[in-house]
Amino acid sequence: MTTALRRLRNYIDGEFRDAADGRTTEVVNPATGEAYATAPLSAAADVDAAMAAAEAAFPAWRDLIPAERQKVLLKIADRFEERAEELIAAESENCGKPVALVRSEEIPPMVDQIRFFAGAARMLEGRSAGEYMEGFTSIIRREPVGVCAQVAPWNYPMMMAVWKFAPALAAGNTVVIKPSDTTPASTVLIADIIGSVLDELGHSRGVFNVLCGDRETGRLMVEHTVPAMASITGSVRAGMQVAESASKDLKRVHLELGGKAPVVVFEDTDIAKAVEDISVAGYFNAGQDCTAATRVLVQESIHDEFVAALAKAASETKTGAVDDEDVLYGPLNNANQLKQVKGFIERLPAHAKIEAGGEQVGEKGYFFAPTVVSGLKQDDEIVQHEVFGPVITVQSFSDEKQAVEWANGVEYALASSVWTKDHARAMRMSKTLDFGCVWINTHIPLVAEMPHGGFKKSGYGKDLSAYGFDDYTRIKHVMTSLDG
């Protein structure tokens, strides 16, 4: 006897629909390794329908005064709070995340971020109007770019959807968003929430659309002629493909593509406090975070003590069932990701040493033990490439110069942290570290008011903050003659 799978659907122009050709994919709960739902495998006809709906809804949404768009976003935030338990359940099943952590660490910041962008809608920035040529007045208009094609990742499907739709809608754009094929459930629920709010306040439901599907669906969205902007959070490879596809008709592109965050620990650091914070920042969400504290550089004088303390912290860190309030993280998101993490461990060079973990946990699901690997060199694969799992690597450096060289010596440049009691050193490091964020004596906190985004192969464009809002706008210069 088998349990019937729940049927998820696309959300297009205010209606939940199957794929036009009826194709579906199975959605697997990573905590059990078993399918619990089916989702549409959207193709060209579905993309056409969603883009047409967003395009038709754009003029009226664009022309709303900012205060009206703010009302919608504030109501969406309220509804997120009212339906929080539904969102928590969907995301936990989506990702195998511990229920208690979704409730405490995801719902509150998502609600706050939506409310932040509701306010940003009414704070359009531009240079002062004035006479910059005799007899003429110049003004700046900040306008929405149009329809936005957005692709969200599987590590934080619910929160990353918020990071994409909230600034886009606040700025006056309409949205077609695609969740990962492994995590569509919470985004489909978000569509129900947003659609109901748009209905209640008398706006077109075509303002927000959700397409489920795979990479081909995402490619069709990016290459479609309607969107003026494509936004993706994903791998470097995916970002390069999006940039190439978008270049064919010069779409604006917004890319957040991963990281390999250096965590630079100097000898004057409080080791116990640093280990406590770094282990949480490295293992939270099973290390499936582009900013995760997974590449630690420790000054050689405290290396052995630090590694011993970190290995002990790893051994005390718990992964497990979604309803266990003592676990820090759940499973890896999918079978392919588990295979990738295992592969990094299997290919470790002979000089590397596994200080803790290094193996799969449990008989079902995709759980992996909190892991510490020491003895690594700068050019080792596991140092240079993103593992995206609960694996913290440790290298030993001699001085500040070498720390900077090794910290910057990767292709990614999203986030970093420095651990020291020396203020001057912290300021020097914050200047020389080539990353979009530098934390000092902490790692991973984010706030809606500050930007999140990187350099180099971590992509370009900012999420969160007024900078993230600005990315979803375009600038127009209007000049008028004073001669009448």
The Cα–Cα gap between 266 and 336 comes to: 36
Residue 184, token pair as written in the block: 């569509």
Pairing verdict, β 10-12 and 15-17: antiparallel
Instruction: Single out the catalytic residue among 290, 355, 386, 437.
Output: 290
Q: Strand, helix or coil at 156?
A: coil
The Cα–Cα gap between 471 and 452 comes to: 12
Q: Is the pLDDT of residue 100 over 90?
A: yes
pLDDT for the residue numbered 484:
74
Q: For residue 329, what pLDDT band results from cuts at 50, 70 and 90?
A: very high
Which tens digits make up the pLDDT trace of 43-57?
999 999 999 999 999
Quick check: is 148 catalytic? no
Which tens digits make up the pLDDT trace of 344-403?
999 999 999 999 999 999 999 999 999 999 999 999 999 999 999 999 999 999 999 999
Instruction: Return the C-alpha torsion angle 118, 121, 246, 150, nearest 10.
Output: 10
Q: Is the pLDDT of residue 310 over 50?
A: yes
pLDDT for the residue numbered 312:
98
pLDDT for the residue numbered 298:
98
Q: Domains in the chain, please, with CATH?
A: 6-257+458-477 (3.40.605.10), 262-447 (3.40.309.10)
pLDDT for the residue numbered 127:
87
pLDDT for the residue numbered 161:
98
Q: For residue 305, what pLDDT band results from cuts at 50, 70 and 90?
A: very high
* Tally of CB atoms within 10 A around 119: 16
Question: In angstroms, what CA-CA distances link 311 with 287, 391, 393?
Answer: 16, 11, 11
**What is the rounded average pLDDT of the residues 424-434?**
98
Q: Do 266 and 300 form a contact (C-beta atoms < 8 A)?
A: no
Q: Is the pLDDT of residue 314 over 90?
A: yes
Instruction: Single out the catalytic residue among 223, 256, 355, 386.
Output: 256
| DSSP for residue 129 | P
Q: Is the pLDDT of residue 2 over 60?
A: no
Q: Do 281 and 265 form a contact (C-beta atoms < 8 A)?
A: no
Length of the chain: 484
Q: Is the pLDDT of residue 1 over 70?
A: no
How does DSSP assign 205-248, residue by residue? GGGEEE----HHHHHHHHH-SS-SEEEEES-HHHHHHHHHHHHT
Q: Do 383 and 322 form a contact (C-beta atoms < 8 A)?
A: no
Quick check: is 290 catalytic? yes
Mean pLDDT of the chain: 97
pLDDT for the residue numbered 4:
87
Q: Is the pLDDT of residue 110 over 80?
A: yes
432 CB-contact burial (10 Å; exposed 0-12 / middle 13-18 / buried 19+):
middle
Place of tokens 């210069």: 477
Question: In angstroms, what CA-CA distances link 270 with 9, 89, 290, 312?
Answer: 51, 38, 25, 16
Question: pTM for this one?
Answer: 0.97
**What is the rounded average pLDDT of the residues 291-298?**
97
